[in-house]
Structures are given as C-alpha cells and as structure tokens.
Structure 1
C-alpha cells in the first residue's frame, strides 16, 4: 500500500511527465512549417488593375502568409478575360481562359502561381488542355507547362512535352515531342 507521503512525492514528477507528453510537437524548421496567418473557406477571388477585373474565380480553401505574401488555394477555378475583354462587372470576367486545379500556390508580390495536381485549361473556343502542373505569370501574361500536355479541340487532338500559352495573343506554342491528330484523338 502506498502511503500519503508517497503519493505527494509522485504527484509532481507525474505532472511533469504528463505536461511533457501534452506539449506541442517539435516544429520543423523553415517557413513552410509555420501555420498560416489567415485561413479562408469558400473564397471568391478578384484581381484588379486600376478599375478593371483581370482575374476572377473561387477556391474551396485558401491560406495566406501576410509577411511573405504567399498563398495556397485548394479546388480552385480562375477565369481570365480575353485581352480586350477585361470587365468592370462584379461577377468578374466570363473569360477567354479558365484554369482549374486541385492546388494553386503563389506569391502576391511576384504575381505568379503554380497550379498542380491535374490542371485543366479551357478556352472560350472549346479547347481543353490537361497537364500535371502549370505556372501562371501575371506580369508576363503567360501560362507554361513543362510536364507534358494533352489537348483536345473541336476538330483536333494534340500531345506535347511542353507548352507556352501567350494570353494576350491567345496562342499556344509547343516544345519537345509533339503529336497532332486532325479530326480525332491521338
């Protein structure tokens, strides 16, 4: 049987063990391990240049690190207007280009983002491009992919190793191996 004095001697050491076990896990080093400063759910996005909306969309969830200007968004859809079609309407651009991805990460200061997890680009003309990863560069007004692309249009299909999309011109260019089938799928 344990006496009353024994219980009081065990209590402080037991509390220390319990507190140590319940403490925060050791944090990994680096900025990626820090919790976001802002977490938003059901986000509607709009990006402006002067009074024009140049990008609009939505994300299921978005995190933001204010100090670095970094963000990450999940289940995201972005719409970019045609070059002459930037709109002032609150609903945002109905767009010449739509970009969908499970994950988009980027920087507000550089105005660039990396879309990954199976990216789908859709033009107003009905062309659909699928790629594992794509980079959107707002200042250069380009989208590029270096991990292959499969495209399907109304009367063609194409596969290529890499692509570049000029948003002002609305044109794709391809690098590496390119396979095109007119009137069907490759």
Structure 2
C-alpha cells in the first residue's frame, strides 16, 4: 500500500512546472555565483573555484531552498483540507509517510544536484574551457583546506560525491523538520 502511494505522490510532484522550477534552482544559483567570482579573485585550483561558487548565495538561501522543493504543495493540501478527504481512500499514516518520504527524496536529489553539477562543471569542464585563470602556486603558498578536504586524496570525483551527499543530507534534515512542523501545526 505504501509503495502504491509513493508512486502516486511522485507522479503528483513530477509536474512540468516543478521540474522547471527545480532545474532553475540547480542551474541559476550556481551560475549566478560563478559569474560573480570568475573575475577579481585569484585561484590556484578548481576546488577553490567550486567552494567560492557554492558559498554565499547557496548557504544563505539553503533552508528556503530545502523547504520550497516539495513542501508548498503539502501546505496547500493542508489549507484546502485535502488530507481530511483522503482518509476514506488511504490510511492517514500511509498518506503522511508517503508525503514525508517523497519530500525527503526530492529534496535530497535537488540539493545533491545543486552542488554536484557545479562541481563536475568546474573541476572537469571549466579548465578545458579556460574561463578562470589559475595562478601558479609556489612552495611557500599555503592553499587553505576545504570542507571534507581529507577525501581529496581519494580523487576529486569521490570528494565531490561525498560533499554533495553531505549537503543533500542537510537538505533532507531541513525539509523533514519543516514537514514535521507543518504536521504539528495542523
């Protein structure tokens, strides 16, 4: 019963409007920040560009981003008393559980891609395009460590995946807290 309800909720959530909105978030926020930092900064490695790109705007808006991915539709259902009428078709605990799982899944995917796609572009493609000029480093320079920098020794892709996964987990936590607060507020 839960799996059927999950499919129903995913179909409801995966509208053209929502997909366009999520893609806009994933593409526009990092792109705006990338163009803000591409000049006027001195970079030595692509990881520095990546961290500067995903800093400022994304962390500032992150709680809002995590909440607006799925929860507005749930809030609308609450306001329209839609949940009351679903009790005759689906047990309430299954309905709420499916809503929570879809919220977590979609928030996790969107926030993961919000970080991972800019990482892939900056680390693997930007260097070939030559958009950013990298300064040569010398032996006396110390490049600051970045979040999860201990994973860089396992490869850039591993680092990007782990860092993006960590951000996705944080997004899931934010959206789940907001989901529970919406339920408790009812």
Q: TM-score, normalised by structure 2?
A: 0.22
Q: Which has the larger radius of gyration?
A: 1
Query: Comparing both chains, which one has the higher relative contact order based on Cα–Cα distances under 8 Å and sequence gaps of 6 or more?
Result: 2
Which is helix-richer, 1 or 2? 2
Q: TM-score, normalised by structure 1?
A: 0.22
